[in-house]
Amino acid sequence: MASKISYSRIGFLLTCFLFPGLIGTFASFSIPAPVVDAMHQEAALDAVLTAATPQAQQTAINNLGNATDEDTAAIVAKGTGPIAARVAAARANMHIEVVTQARDEAYKIRLMVITMTVLGALFGVALLGPSKQ
């Protein structure tokens, strides 16, 4: 008994493997973004503390606007008190903002997974087509 090749079933099988792969690929680009952002901001804040001269420190402070978010930069640049205390306060603020950013990214990833799963299921059903009994 020769069986007929069902292209819709092959397409369905491919869909079962391709959609999770695509979801994982897209998600993998979003997951490390907050961590990488935090690392760059930490380095910029460290540069303020480790500057060798007052001029180098002022340059590092001026660069914070490009390397960190506005709130974090303002805490160091416009704050009063010892520079180490301002950097510590900016670091604490930055950590709060990075956690918020990570939560936002996680929500978007979950929304993408849900959307792609539903679309994949609909696409799979469409590929199977009506039953031919």
pLDDT digits (tens, 9 = 90+) for 98-119: 999 888 888 888 888 788 778 8
Which pTM does this prediction carry? 0.69
Q: Are 60 and 48 in contact (CB under 8 A)?
A: yes
Q: What DSSP state is assigned to residue 5?
A: P
- Confidence category of residue 96, pLDDT binned at 50, 70, 90: very high
State the CB neighbour count (10 A cutoff) for residue 87: 22
- Per-residue pLDDT band for 47 (boundaries 50, 70, 90) equals very high
- The pLDDT confidence band at residue 1, using thresholds 50, 70 and 90, is low
